[in-house]
């Protein structure tokens, strides 16, 4: 008996020790045996362990470079057939511009969605124009293509070198969202590969639950492979306007007036500028339309200032430029900004939309684009924005030297509550974005530790003051926090997970569900 027990123990121990290695190599060879139109790489995959946040680096087992939706379906079916016993997870990677490893998968399979780029984009003209694109396509490429037809998507992000699948998995919010809603409100149809490998077309009419689930779904319910995006007539030029306020209430009142007026601007955002000396003197000279992000580098004599940023579209066929200018002047005359701070320029539409790329190129040339980016994005209900501004902009935030702080309102009515996207329950919601970078070799106010501490102070204040704030591009480490984030939507989120990704293999980097093994 003792002998039997000893050999049994040895057997079990060796199985426990050998099993992971055994599984690992058998998984590797099974992946290698797949017949794909694209290919799989098992080495030199470091890029897939990096993202824009540059704080989390998790290495995958393999990266799939698919050439078709069939490739993606094949991979997912393969992992699905391994069943719950396998630890293997799968994450789509768009352009890898996540902030906290959301597109990464430890020893998992990364699907490099950009390999699908180059699939033909099909533009449909007519009364309600749209474009069919691959979800791995960058928004900048879609803009270039649709402009050939005098058309463009209606709703944008501030930066266009992001993929369709990546922004639709969050929301895609920018200064056009007050009118059109975020990007998730401007999609007619999607093609999705679910966590069982099924390829489904979905829209508000067909497989509607899946359609709503994946929009703002943080990659949890399927991999979006194609999208049909709503288009509008594109302007050729835009009038680009910036004005300053010294008082948050007046600034917010003007923003709310503009987003609700029948006749208004086409893009409405805002910036907080704090503790920069000499701003008022340098204001006009410092605004370089080639480098608008530099606005955050203005100096403000220690004061907190609020910059309202607006654009008005200019259409070539509207030859009456005098009338267009009159309209802009009428709109500006309704506002209470500091009169001497009006700055206007006129630039091509594409130059305005692609404005952050100009800054990216400069930062890259100085090696500053790849710094850690401990961003914090919040959605604050209108009823609490004054309280928030007083404490956060007035007290917690000491300066805006570490990166721009954006603040602008959008209408809740432009969001579809059936999607997975979560926002406070009020008619107007403010997006407040602390877009900080950190210097890894510093121990001062630009250090990662300092920025993270400031972010925590902001979050703690929101909690203690019960502001009902929601994170945008959310990041949590426990399921309890996710449950609180989703609030009443949590149950539906969980139901959808078990319907579309029952093994919880998809997008593990979001840290919402853990694959059962
Ligand atoms: P990734 O980071 O690669 O992926 C994001 C998540 O989506 C991951 O969980 C991934 O697994 C999943 N995913 C990716 N592709 C798919 C797919 N096809 N199907 C299903 N899931 C998928 N956001 C705004 O809303 N407004 C802005 O103005 C804005 N400006 C930004 C400016 C910069 C400089 C940067 C870096 C980011 C900005 N963002 C903005 C945030 C951006 O929208 C998100 O980080 C987005 O996720 C990035 O897209 P990506 O293609 O790089 O996605």
Cα(141)–Cα(124) distance, rounded to whole angstroms?
16
Report residue 452 as tokens.
């993270």
Residue 93 CA: nearest ligand 1 atom is 3
Q: Is the CB of 105 under 6 A from ligand 1?
A: no
Give the position, in ligand 1's atom list, of the atom nearest the Cα of 95. Answer: 52
Question: What is the whole-number distance in angstroms between the Cα of residue 132 and the centre of ligand 1?
Answer: 19
Please indicate whether residue 94, judged by its CB atom, sits closer than 6 Å to ligand 1.
Answer: yes
Q: Which of 56, 167, 370, 482 for a ligand 1 pocket mutation test, highest count of atoms within 8 Å of Cβ?
A: 167
Consecutive 10-residue averages of pLDDT for the chain (517 residues): 53 47 75 94 97 97 97 97 91 97 97 90 96 98 97 98 98 98 98 98 98 98 98 96 96 98 97 68 45 46 87 81 88 95 94 94 91 97 98 94 94 97 98 95 92 98 98 96 97 98 98 88
Q: Which of 64, 26, 18, 19 is nearest to 45 (CA)?
A: 64
Q: What are phi and psi of 189, to 5 degrees?
A: -155, 150
Q: How far is the CA of 161 from the centre of ligand 1 (A)?
A: 10
d(C-alpha 408, C-alpha 209), whole Å: 30
Q: Is 158 in the pocket of ligand 1 (CB under 6 A)?
A: yes
Tokens 């309890």, located at residue: 480
Residue nearest atom 38 in ligand 1 by C-alpha distance: 159
Nearest to 351 by CA among 73, 145, 160, 100: 160
Residue 417 CB contacts under 8 Å (≥ 6 apart), including other chains: none
Best residue among 47, 90, 103 to mutate for probing ligand 1's pocket (most ligand atoms within 8 Å of CB) is 103
Cβ of residue 176 lying under 6 Å from some atom of ligand 1: no
Q: What are the CA-CA distances from residue 473 to residues 162, 216, 476 (Å)?
A: 14, 9, 10
**Tokens standing for 199?**
């390829």
Ligand 1 in contact with 171 (CB < 6 A)?
A: yes
Q: What is the pLDDT of residue 7?
A: 54
β-strand 428-434 against 405-411: which pairing, if any?
antiparallel
DSSP 138: B
- What does the alpha-carbon distance between residue 93 and residue 82 come to, in Å, rounded to a whole number? 22
Q: What stretches of 315-463 adopt beta strand conformation (E)?
A: 343-348, 376-381, 405-411, 428-434
Contact 447, 439 (CB under 8 A): yes
Residues with catalytic function: 97, 158, 269
Any alpha helices (H) in 366-435, and if so which ranges?
385-391
Q: Is the CB of 227 under 6 A from ligand 1?
A: no
Number of residues assigned to the chain = 517
Q: Is 169's C-beta closer than 6 angstroms to any atom of ligand 1?
A: yes
CB of 92 sitting under 6 A from ligand 1: yes
For residue 62, what are its two tokens?
Answer: 């393999």
Kindly state the tokens that stand for 43.
């080495």
Is ligand 1 within 6 A of the CB of residue 135? yes
Atom of ligand 1 nearest to the CA of 506: 11
Q: Which two tokens stand for residue 36?
A: 């794909």
- Measured in Å, residue 156 CA sits from the centre of ligand 1 at 12
CB atoms within 10 A of CB 207: 17
Element (H, E) at 260: helix 248-260
User: Ligand 1: which atom is nearest the Cα of residue 225?
Assistant: 18
- Please state, as a whole number, how many other Cβ atoms lie within 10 Å of the Cβ of residue 328: 18
Ligand 1: distance of its center to the CA of 369 in Å?
Answer: 16
| DSSP, res 235 | P
What are the tokens at 21? 């290695």
Closest Cα to atom 34, ligand 1: which residue?
159
- Rg (C-alpha) for the chain, rounded Å, is 24
**Signed CA dihedral, 408, 412, 418, 424: sign only:** positive
Q: Which of 68, 73, 169 to mutate to test the pocket of ligand 1 (most atoms within 8 A of CB)?
A: 169
This model of the complex carries an ipTM of: 0.99
Q: How far apart are CA 46 and CA 115, in angstroms?
A: 17
For the CA of 102, the closest atom of ligand 1 is 9
Separation between Cα atoms, residue 330 and residue 338, nearest integer Å: 16
Q: DSSP of 93-135, one letter per residue?
A: ESSS--SSSTT--TTSEEEEGGGGTTSPPEEE-SSS-EEEEET
The residue contributing the CA closest to ligand 1 atom 18 is 165
Partners of 378 in beta bridges? 432, 471
Q: Which atom of ligand 1 is nearest to the CA of 172?
A: 25
Which residues share a beta bridge with 203?
189
pLDDT given for residue 279 in this prediction? 42
Residue nearest to atom 35 of ligand 1 (CA): 97
215 lines ligand 1 (CB under 6 A): no
User: Ligand 1 center to residue 2 CA distance, Å?
Assistant: 59
Q: Is the CB of 112 under 6 A from ligand 1?
A: no
Reduced to 3 states (helix: H, G, I; strand: E, B; else coil), residue 305 is strand
Atom 42 of ligand 1: nearest residue by CA position: 167
Return d(Cα 514, Cα 504) in angstroms, integer: 6
- Rounded CA gap, 410 and 379, in Å? 10
DSSP state of 302: T
Ligand 1 site, residue 381, Cβ cutoff 6 A: no
Q: Which of 166, 374, 472, 473 to mutate to test the pocket of ligand 1 (most atoms within 8 A of CB)?
A: 166
Any ligand 1 atom below 6 A from CB of 66: no
Residue 227 DSSP SS3 = strand
Tokens linked to 89: 């997870």
**Which residues make beta-bridge pairs with 393?**
none
């Amino acid at each position: 008996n003792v002998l039997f027990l000893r050999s049994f123990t040895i057997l079990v121990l060796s199985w426990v020790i050998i099993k992971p290695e055994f599984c690992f190599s058998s998984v590797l060879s099974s992946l290698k045996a797949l017949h794909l139109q694209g290919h799989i790489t098992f080495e030199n995959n470091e890029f897939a362990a990096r993202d824009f946040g540059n704080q989390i680096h998790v290495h995958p087992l393999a990266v799939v470079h698919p050439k078709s939706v069939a490739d993606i379906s094949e991979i997912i079916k393969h992992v699905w057939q391994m069943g719950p016993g396998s630890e293997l997870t799968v994450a789509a990677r768009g352009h890898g511009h996540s902030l906290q490893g959301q597109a990464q998968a430890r020893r998992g399979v990364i699907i490099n969605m950009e390999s699908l780029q180059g699939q033909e984009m099909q533009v449909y003209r007519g009364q309600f124009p749209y474009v069919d694109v691959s979800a791995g396509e960058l928004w900048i490429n879609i803009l270039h293509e649709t402009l050939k037809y005098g058309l463009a998507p209606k709703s944008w992000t501030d930066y266009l070198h992001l993929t369709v699948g990546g922004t639709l998995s969050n929301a895609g919010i920018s200064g056009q969202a007050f009118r059109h809603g975020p990007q998730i409100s401007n999609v007619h149809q999607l093609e999705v590969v679910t966590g069982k490998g099924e390829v489904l077309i979905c829209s508000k009419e067909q497989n509607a639950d899946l359609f709503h689930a994946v929009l703002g779904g943080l990659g949890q319910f399927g991999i979006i492979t194609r999208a049909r995006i709503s288009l509008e007539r594109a302007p050729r030029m835009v009038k680009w306007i910036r004005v300053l306020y010294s008082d948050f209430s007046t600034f917010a009142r003007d923003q709310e007036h503009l987003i609700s007026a029948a006749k208004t601007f086409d893009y409405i955002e805002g910036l907080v500028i704090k503790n920069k000396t000499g701003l008022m003197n340098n204001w006009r000279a410092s605004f370089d339309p080639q480098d608008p992000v530099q606005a955050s580098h203005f100096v403000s004599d220690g004061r907190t200032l609020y910059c309202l940023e607006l654009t008005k579209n200019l259409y070539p066929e509207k030859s009456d430029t005098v009338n267009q200018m009159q309209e802009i002047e009428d709109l500006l005359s309704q506002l209470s900004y500091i009169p001497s701070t009006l700055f206007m320029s006129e630039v091509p539409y594409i130059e305005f939309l692609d404005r952050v790329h100009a800054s990216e190129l400069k930062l890259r040339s100085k090696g500053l684009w790849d710094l850690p980016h401990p961003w914090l994005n919040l959605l604050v209900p209108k009823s609490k924005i004054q309280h928030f501004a007083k404490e956060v902009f007035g007290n917690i935030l000491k300066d805006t030297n570490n990166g721009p702080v954006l603040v602008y309102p959008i209408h809740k009515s432009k969001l579809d509550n059936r999607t997975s996207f979560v926002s406070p329950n009020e008619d107007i919601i403010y997006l407040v974005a602390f877009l900080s970078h950190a210097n890894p070799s510093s121990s001062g106010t630009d250090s990662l530790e300092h920025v993270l501490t400031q972010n925590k102070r902001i979050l703690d204040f929101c909690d203690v003051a019960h502001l009902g704030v929601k994170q945008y591009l959310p990041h949590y480490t426990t399921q309890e926090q996710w449950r609180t984030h989703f609030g009443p939507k949590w149950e539906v989120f969980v139901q959808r997970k078990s319907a579309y990704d029952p093994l919880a293999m998809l997008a593990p980097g979001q840290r919402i569900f853990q694959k059962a093994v």
